[in-house]
Structure 1
Amino acid sequence: MSKRYTAEFKRDAVALALSSDKTVTEVARDLGVSPEGLRGWVKQATVDRGEGPSGATNSRSPRDQ
């Protein structure tokens, strides 16, 4: 069974992963989340910032943009 995390928690986890000298796996372990989950959040945040691959879909709704 998977846990649900708030958008704020995910945003903070992504920021930590991107700013840390630690690997994503180490950051995930420190936060108590799966490394695969954190990698997915980082990837989605990159796409949401417009830095992802061509044709990638962002997760924000049109009203959020």
Structure 2
Amino acid sequence: MATGGVALSLKEFHVMGDTRRAFTAEYKSQAVGFVLDDDRTLAEVARNIGCHEYTLGKWVKKEREARDRARADQPVSESERAELIRLRSEKKTDAATIAQLEMQVAFAKKVAAWFANEQR
């Protein structure tokens, strides 16, 4: 099958009463590459290569997990460490701001309810 100018080889086999297709590791790798590396949508790639979105989604999920494990094994660089510190600090500041705004909203609701009761 051809997808975006790249030919993918499909290996199919049939067992009596079974219509399941088997895909080669190379086929899966190329299909996943279209989604992860070429920024194509899962639906688009599945439609183009002729497999179900759920099947391709499982392949993509498996590859993402493998890539995440590979990244987790690498040490964090100084710039990444500095960014983590900055983001964690921003998270704390944002959480405090959100808590303050939620208190203000709760107070405003109470004031509105009080005025509504006074109008009666």
What's the TM-score once normalised by structure 1's chain length? 0.68
Which entry has the higher C-alpha Rg, 1 or 2? 2
Picking from 27, 43, 47, the partner of 2:65 is 47
Which digits, 9 at most, give the CA deviation of each residue in 1:1-54, with x for residues without a partner? 321000000000000012344320111000001100000000000111217xxx
Cα distance between partner residues in 2 of 1:21 and 1:42: 12
Cα distance between partner residues in 2 of 1:26 and 1:11: 16
Kindly report which structure 2 residues correspond to 1:1-65, keeping only aligned pairs within 5 A, or say none: 1-49=19-67, 50=69
Structure 1 residue ranges (4+ consecutive) displaced by more than 2 angstroms after TM superposition: 19-22
| Local SS of the residue matching 1:3 | coil
Greater fraction of residues in helix: 2
The answer for the alignment partner of 1:55 in structure 2 is: none
State the aligned residue count: 51
Identity, in percent, stands at: 37
Cα RMSD of the aligned pairs, angstroms, is 1.5
| Local SS of the residue matching 1:13 | helix
**Structure 1: which 5+ runs fail to align?**
52-65
